[in-house]
Structure 1
Amino acid sequence: MLFQVRMDVKIPHDLPAEQVAEVLAAEKAYSQELQRQGSWRHIWRIAGQYSNISIFDVADNAELHALLSGLPLFKFMHIEVTALLRHPSAIRENDS
Structure 2
Amino acid sequence: MLFHVTMDVDIPRDLDPDVRADTIAREKAYSQDLQRQGKWPHIWRVVGKYSNVSVFDVESTDELHEILWNLPLFPYMTVQVTPLCPHPSSIR
Which whole-Å CA distance do the structure 1 matches of 2:36 and 2:70 have between them? 16
Which digits, 9 at most, give the CA deviation of each residue in 1:37-94, with x for residues without a partner? 00001000000000000000001110000000000000000000000001011001xx
Q: Structure 1: 5+ residue runs without aligned partners?
A: none
Q: Structure 2: 5+ residue runs without aligned partners?
A: none
Which whole-Å CA distance do the structure 2 matches of 1:85 and 1:91 have between them? 14
Map of 1:15-94 to 2, 5 A cutoff? 15-92=15-92
Which whole-Å CA distance do the structure 2 matches of 1:41 and 1:2 have between them? 10
Give 1:10 deviation, angstroms: 0.2
Amino acid paired to 1:57:
D
SS at match of 1:91: coil
Which whole-Å CA distance do the structure 1 matches of 2:81 and 2:41 have between them? 15
Give the match for residue 5 of structure 1.
5
Q: Where in structure 1 do 4 or more consecutive aligned residues deviate above 6 Å?
A: none
Q: Could you say what the CA RMSD is over the residues aligned between the two structures, in angstroms? A: 0.4
Amino acid paired to 1:59:
E
Paired residues in the alignment total: 92
